[in-house]
Amino acid sequence: MACAQTGSGKTAAFLLPILQQLMADGVAASQFSELQEPEVIIVAPTRELISQIYLEARKFAYGTCVRPVVVYGGVSTGYQIRDLCRGCNVLCGTPGRLLDMINRGKVGLTKLRYFVLDEADRMLDMGFEPDMRRLLGSPGIPTKEDRQTLMFSATYPEEIQNLAAAFLKEDYLFLAVGMVGGACSDVQQEFVEVTKFSKKEKLLEVLKVTDKQISLDREQREREQALADFRSGKCPVLVATSVAARGLDIPDVQHVVNFDLPNNIDEYVHRIGRTGRCGNIGRAVSFFDPEKDGQLAQSLIAILSTAQQTVPSWLEESAFSGPGSASPAMKGFGATDLRKSRSFQKNDINQPTAQSAAEEEEDWG
Ligand SMILES: Nc1ncnc2c1ncn2[C@@H]1O[C@H](COP(=O)(O)OP(=O)(O)OP(=O)(O)O)[C@@H](O)[C@H]1O
Ligand SMILES: [Mg+2]
């Protein structure tokens, strides 16, 4: 279980040793076989992220006998199955589509040596946990003592750590670089106090560019195009839901704007981590509406202080007088009455983005 801040290079930290080990031990050539039995499976919560990991794997494995393949939902399975059949040692996938491939008899897990969960806390939260149980309970899969299970993230809530132990070896290693759950100190964090009516105006002030905006609320193909246009610099602004909160590594992102703050502090840490990566400096501006975001104030102050950032005095005031001040430890649903959180999920449109991303993944298979 490994924890290091956003943008610090966790992808290479799991890919390189695994590829090196596969090359040292040799891999079986399984070209044109109907059933592929990869030595490595990597899972991540979003299609965009798993595509990025796949491209990194392909880059590092270039010119070797190790063959990475990617599968994810939202696009037709036909091409992915044909690609799989050409041979697969490292299978990168989102959980829904991976399970689909296993159920279709295209992927077998008997040769699995390494199982990697990127954004592990997200992969084990209530949105994805059932899928992970299904995956790790697939027929023929080596037991947790006979395979290596690796988990990577910048955040690890306690309750998720308890859950994770069930999938790891008895004496698993916990490796933390820096502060678990801390924000990257290369991101300058700013807060603007707003009301829901003044947000739009403030956004325009911050952006000063309002044209060429693109959105991730689209078909999968359009989503990938939007991201590609942003990556290449063709579009200077990317408007996205929390689907883009984690893992995406886009060079030269200078600015992250939290138009709506998430209702979970870990999600905030991941979002602002899209900038200030790999030693570069970044800036994050968040619109804080005391009426709506009050419950986040105390956690935000903790994050700001540990990242050596200035805490606005009005934010401190909000932390001690706002609606969340009675439950300072509230983080996700962990500290709330379960019955309340159940009705909260059903009725509140601001339900955790974590949950909606998983549902979306399921929708698309
Ligand atoms: N040793 C290195 N030297 C230079 N650049 C590196 C090195 N290792 C990784 N990088 C680069 O750092 C950037 C961030 O890496 P990566 O996406 O793996 O971060 P991460 O820790 O997974 O962050 P997140 O928590 O946001 O997913 C990438 O562009 C990667 O190519
Ligand atoms: Mg990452």
Residue entry with tokens 């606005």: 312
Grade residue 206 by pLDDT with cuts at 50, 70 and 90.
confident
Domain with CATH 3.40.50.300 in the chain: 2-179+345-364, 187-321
Beta-carbon-side half-sphere exposure of residue 145 (alpha carbons within 13 Å): 2
Mean pLDDT of the 204-230 span: 76
Single out the residue of 351, 151, 341 nearest to residue 242, CA to CA: 351
Looking at all shown ligands, the one closest to residue 56's CA atom is 1
For the cut 70, the answer to whether the pLDDT of residue 323 exceeds it is no
% of the chain residues with pLDDT over 70: 85
Grade residue 317 by pLDDT with cuts at 50, 70 and 90.
very high
- Name 347's Cβ contacts closer than 8 Å, sequence gap at least 6: none
Specify the pLDDT at position 167: 95
Query: Which residue owns the Cα nearest ligand 1 atom 30?
Result: 9
In the sheet where 255-258 sits, what is the strand order?
Answer: 187-193, 282-288, 255-258
Grade residue 30 by pLDDT with cuts at 50, 70 and 90.
confident
Distance CA 93, CA 77 (A): 12
- Residues in the chain, how many? 365
Residue entry with tokens 């079986």: 28
Distance 153 CA to ligand 1 centre (A): 12
* Torsions phi, psi for 118 (to 5 deg): -85, 150
Single out the residue of 337, 240, 244, 307 nearest to residue 45, CA to CA: 244
Mean pLDDT of the 127-139 span: 95
Specify the pLDDT at position 353: 34
Longest dimension (CA), the chain: 65
Specify the pLDDT at position 341: 35
User: Are the C-beta atoms of 72 and 93 separated by less than 8 Å?
Assistant: yes
> 2-179+345-364 maps to which CATH number?
3.40.50.300
Between 210 and 28, where is the model more confident? Answer: 28
Specify the pLDDT at position 107: 97
Burial grade of 28 (CB within 10 A; 0-12, 13-18, 19 or more): exposed
Lowest average pLDDT, out of 26-40, 227-241, 252-266, 282-296, goes to 26-40
Query: Which residue owns the Cα nearest ligand 1 atom 1?
Result: 9
Grade residue 28 by pLDDT with cuts at 50, 70 and 90.
confident
What is the DSSP code (8-state) at residue 275? S
Check pocket membership of 52 for ligand 1, CB cut-off 6 A. no
Pocket test for ligand 1, best of 3, 5, 6, 10 (most atoms within 8 A of CB): 10
Fold of 187-321: Rossmann fold (3.40.50)
Mean pLDDT across the chain: 87
For the cut 60, the answer to whether the pLDDT of residue 349 exceeds it is no
Grade residue 363 by pLDDT with cuts at 50, 70 and 90.
very low
Distance 247 CA to ligand 1 centre (A): 9
**322-357 burial: b if 16+ Cβ within 10 Å, else e:** bebeeebebbbbeeeeeeebeebeeeeeeebbbbeb
Pocket test for ligand 1, best of 249, 252, 280 (most atoms within 8 A of CB): 249
Between 125 and 331, where is the model more confident? Answer: 125
